[in-house]
Amino acid sequence: MSALGSIFAAQARQLGHSIASVRKESTLKVAVVSLGMVFLWLILFGIAWGMFRLVDRFGVEMLGDAAIAISEVLMPRMLAIAALVLQAMLVLSCGLLASQSFFRSTEMRLLLGTPAPLRAIAAAKLSEVAFFGAWSAAYLGSPVLLAYGLVRHAPWTLYPLALLAFIPFVVIPAALGCMLALVAARLLPRLPRAGLLVALALVAVVAVLALRPRLAEARFRDSMDLAGLVQLTGRAHSPYLPSTWFAEAVVAAGRRDTREVGFHLTMLAANAAFAAWVLGGVAQATLLGAWSALASTVPTRRSARRGEWLPRLLAPLPAPWRWLTIKDALQFARDPAQWSQAAIFFGVLALYVANMRTGPRAFSAIMWQGWITLLNTLASLLVAATLTTRFVFPLISLEGRRFWLLSLAPVRRRTIIWQKLALSTVVTFVVTGGLALLSGLRLHLPPLSLAVALLTVLAASLALSALAVGLGALYPNFREENPGRIVSGLGGTLCFILSMLYVALAATAQTFALRWAEVARHWGVGWSTTRGVLACLAALVVLTALTTWLPLRAGIRHLDRVEL
């Protein structure tokens, strides 16, 4: 067997063991995760189906029996936009997964000690990164594809052809992400920290300045502007993007145009093979040097002195809480995969706030204020859920096999959980509360709506942090050092599903509180506005208390009993 075949065989055995380990999980946990994933998939399908159906009906109503309806132009471009979003997400997520797989995994240290060619190692890692990146893209993209096929009355051959095109479509951004990870690991450790921060700031400023005019060229005002809509959606449609090739292959399969399908499938396959070949060359040129650069990077005395400000800042806290917080902060700062993901995440948030504009005059009417507040709060709550699931849930597991050191310290294990809860709540509320405040001010929300939104975000920061910390202590994985794999397990999936459920219920309670007059009139409730608002806020408080206490109680009990 060749070196690449041996690595593939070992990866297949690891995958089989991971699937078999699901049997050891509790039946209730597996059932909740499975039902939650099905429920979220159905919600995504309903949203996609409604959007495609709206565009399809909209085109018929506007143009009647014309030869070319507006839907014939918009629907393929909407599919191209969805494919472009998936492509961008895949490049970022695969780059972060590649940095973990190439430089943090134990098996990589063993592979570099074998006579396996670097091209074979790069191909094996590409398959691993593409596999872990593909399942999330397939989960998010399959409801959109199914909705498009149903609305367009496409033949059944659309779906196997789309699956055939999806494989090279995933390989291309996965290869790009791997190359970015290798080049970054080769160059960044040798650059000064100040120069690196200045370069990242310049890149962010240039990106904002480049994107804002393009987004401002076509936007809606007080009336529906079809020309602007067509122009805006056309910016995601480029003949040089793999997302366009994939979307065109799907559209051609829906029209039974085998020639176009074959052309775009060939384009995807050829570029995927070329990207994999280029990755092999990049790995040969950078992999060993990147390992050497990362291994030779040591903290200097100057960087150690720079970290002295943190103990002084946290001096009012009790000693155990202060030093545990410092440990978590240093552990986060010394992990490039963690802070790079956080930098990308906050960069996207900055771009979101920078491109937010005041709505048109129609949006300033009273009937739209509730919807604007709801969407603004939903955005903040989804950010909080993402932060806690991705960065807070793995905190207990990342202690790893060194957890016994904390167990020997004169600190109770439940103190560790309470400290992580306080740290997560403060950081999450600073980020999401600031986002809700800035976006609310830019949207000119009324003071009452803005105050209720900030109250909801504060409650969500506590509840979602408790959910992530409690489930992280209830389902720890001390054998895994990769945060991405910890989150992608059943415990992380359960945390994400329950977080989404809390977000939906909290946003509903806030909307009922702000629109109680309409709710009472629609349902025939005789309560006054004050009584209705207080009841909705009380329901939010009860929901937050239950979401905070139950997971923490279960996590503390489990961590007190677990043997390390």
How confident is the model over 257-274, as pLDDT tens digits?
A: 889 889 999 999 999 999
Query: How far is 212 from 226, CA to CA, in rounded Å?
Result: 21
State the Rg of the chain over Cα. 25
Asked if residue 421 has pLDDT above 80, the reply is: yes
Tokens 């700031």 found at = 201
- The number of residues in the chain equals 564
Q: Is the pTM of this model over 0.85?
A: no
What's the mean pLDDT in 357-384? Answer: 61
Please state the domain extents for the chain.
26-292, 320-327+335-564
Cα dihedral sign, 317-319-323-324: negative
Q: What is the pLDDT of residues 196-229, one digit of tens each?
A: 556 656 665 665 565 555 545 444 444 444 444 4
State the average pLDDT over residues 406-433. 84
C-alpha dist (Å) from residue 379 to 143, 372, 386, 387: 22, 11, 11, 12
Cα within 13 Å of Cα(104), Cβ side:
19
Distances in whole angstroms, Cα of residue 546 to Cα of each of 33, 249, 540, 551? 20, 48, 10, 8
CA atoms within 13 A on the CB side of 185: 31
Q: Which of 72-76, 84-88, 195-199, 487-491 has the lowest mean pLDDT?
A: 195-199
Quick: pLDDT tens for 298-347. Answer: 555 555 555 567 777 777 888 788 888 888 787 777 666 666 666 666 66
Q: Which two tokens stand for residue 478?
A: 């001390």
Q: For residue 97, how many other CB atoms are within 10 A of its CB?
A: 27
Overall average pLDDT of the 346-361 stretch: 56
Q: What is the mean pLDDT of residues 372-390?
A: 78
354, containing H or E segment: helix 336-354
Using the predicted structure, report yes or no on whether residue 479 has a pLDDT greater than 80. Answer: no
pLDDT at 544: 93
pLDDT tens-digit map of 552-564: 998 888 887 776 6
